[in-house]
Amino acid sequence: MNSCFIISQFFLIENILIIFAANYKYMPRNKRLRKIVAPPRFSGYKPYGCRPQSSIPVELFFEEYEALKLADYKMLNHEQAAILMDISRATFARIYENARRKIALALVETREIVTSTGSSYTEKKWKLCNNCHARFNKSGNNTLSACPLCSSENTVHINF
């Protein structure tokens, strides 16, 4: 075994360790999913009448939207909202706080808001019509293949 071989093997192992460390850093924690009734009826919001300070949008998770909706729109207390989302009161408080901070950040820095599934699930599968932007789930005679409003087949799943 010559020294060049040993050195090349060393760098190979070092590269593998760096790749492993880089991937480990971004591995998601094994989070419990949070139940939501329905995904938001929009993909995002854009500020207008202003000059945006940042082009980086604020990502609002479905469970954060649900927490805001339950606490600030439906006026439920944290205990009631946590039961509906099948999470502890402390977890609900954390999600709710994150949601408020993200909305504040978007408003103050005039940044766009985009929604994403986050760590949420729904009991029904929801779809989005790419033609009329309606959101719908399987109910009645609707088989989820076509949009119940415009009958378009150009639809995509919103959640898993």
Minimum distance from residue 140 beta carbon to Zn ion (Å):
16
Instruction: Map tokens 């699930």 to a residue.
Output: 121
> Which one, 32 or 125, has the nearer CB to Zn ion?
125
Rounded to 5°, the CA angle 33-35-39 comes to 110
> Which one, 88 or 142, has the nearer CB to Zn ion?
142
Return d(Cα 71, Cα 128) in angstroms, integer: 26
Minimum distance from residue 60 beta carbon to Zn ion (Å):
24
CB–CB of 71/99 below 8 Å?
no
> Which one, 82 or 128, has the nearer CB to Zn ion?
128
Q: Which residues would be at the binding site for Zn ion (CB under 5 A)? A: 129, 131-132, 134, 147, 149-150, 152
Minimum distance from residue 98 beta carbon to Zn ion (Å):
32
> Which one, 105 or 150, has the nearer CB to Zn ion?
150
Minimum distance from residue 41 beta carbon to Zn ion (Å):
13
Give the number of other CB atoms < 10 A from CB of residue 29. Answer: 6
Minimum distance from residue 146 beta carbon to Zn ion (Å):
8
State the first-to-last Cα distance of the chain, in angstroms, to the nearest integer: 53
Give the number of other CB atoms < 10 A from CB of residue 15. Answer: 10
Return d(Cα 17, Cα 31) in angstroms, integer: 26
Return d(Cα 112, Cα 20) in angstroms, integer: 34
> Which one, 104 or 150, has the nearer CB to Zn ion?
150
